[in-house]
Structure formats: structure tokens, C-alpha cells
Amino acid sequence: MKFSVKICGLKDARNVAAAVEGGAAYTGFVFFRRSPRFITAEAAGTLINEIPRSVTSVGLFVNPTDAELEAVLAHARLGMIQLHGTETPARVDKVRRLSGLPVIKAVGVATARDVHAVKVYEDHADWLLFDAKPPKDAARPGGNALAFDWPLLKTYAGKTSWMLAGGLTRGNVAAAIKAAGARAVDVSSGVETAPGVKSPAKIRAFLKTALAAAGRKGL
């Protein structure tokens, strides 16, 4: 599997262009209203229409209802669904059937037990996304600029493809790739100047660093 990068939480054309031109394999759009990165289905659809089909557009949802999914899919040409809530394996299966799209299931990690617990999703999700477990009082399940102990992921023995997320920046992504053995990374807050405000320069710099680090490792 070729190394890949996902830039998540995109909201405007300048940052989408920076992600695509910089070599991102995935562009992420957040449909969780409590996130500072929230975007409407209509606005996301307009942006996605300008993205080459070689780049996969991912819709991030948190415990969505069927109606919420259908409303977004009616406007936005998504290539993948990301579930970032407390969705069960059965719910992952239903979302796959409803959308007709592959699904990424995000899981919070704080200990090795959390890594091993993802086994329940392996026959249901197409991808796993390992993110830092949010604090108990966090307003959202991800995008909190928190990292976890990356070497924990080297204990993951499943066959499901996975991405590394959580607190990644240009300054630490090379170390994270090496420590976790990651073949895909996902960044959001690490390419922002403020919550929900992406920087084209930071996006390009992150992509350049991550792709160079992966190239050095032969990923």
C-alpha cells in the first residue's frame, strides 16, 4: 500500500487546492455541527466538484442518523465515510450499505488495550483511524490537537488498513511515522492557525515533510 496523507476539516477552495496540489490522497470534510471545522453539505459539494477523482473526499460524521447521511450524500460526492463517534460494528455495516461507500472507523487510543479493542471492527470497517482518546470533558471526539503513545500501534496485528491521527504537526510527523509504523496519516488541527482556520502554507509544509519521511522509509 502506497503511503498516503489525509487533510481533514477543509472548508475553503484555497486550502483544498493546497491539499490537492501538495499530494494529499484524501480530503476530509466535517459534518459534525459542534466542530469548528463544520461545513454544510452544499458548501462541501461545491468544493468536492473541483477535486480530481483521483483524490478521495471523505465525509466525517459523529453518530449520524440515516437522514443526516442521506442529506449530505444528496449534495456531496463523497468517496468515503468516516465515523468518529460511538458507532457499533452493526452501525458501521448499516452505514456501508446505506451509503454504498467504504467506511473508516475512528477509535480513541490511550493504552494498548484500546489498540487491541479495535478487533471488533475488523470485519466491518474498511479502514481504522487511530486517534488520541479525548479528555472526558472534551466537546468533540477528535480534532483536539492531542497525541498518544505512537509505538502502541506497533502492537496492532490486524489486517485492516489504518491511519494515524492525533496531534500531528510538521514538526513531529516524521517521528510519528517511524514510531507507529504508519502507512497513512491524518491531520487537521496541526495545519491550522486557529481552531477551524486552515493555513495553505502549513498544509503544503506538512505534506512535504510527511511524504519525504515516508519516502526515506520506502513506504
Q: Is 66 a catalytic residue?
A: no
Catalytic residue among 8, 114, 137, 149: 8
Strand partners, 192: 198
Helices 173-180 + 200-216 axis angle, to 10 = 40
Annotated catalytic residue, options 126, 131, 137, 186: 131
Q: Report the C-alpha gap between 192 and 12 in whole angstroms.
A: 13
Q: Would residue 8 show up in a list of annotated catalytic residues for this protein?
A: yes
- Cα–Cα distances (Å) from 190 to 41, 71, 151, in that order, read 24, 29, 20
Phi, psi of 106 (to 5 degrees): -85, 140
Name residues whose C-beta falls within 8 Å of residue 43's C-beta, 6 or more positions apart in sequence: 11
The answer to whether 75 and 41 have CB atoms below 8 angstroms apart is yes
Active site residues: 8, 131
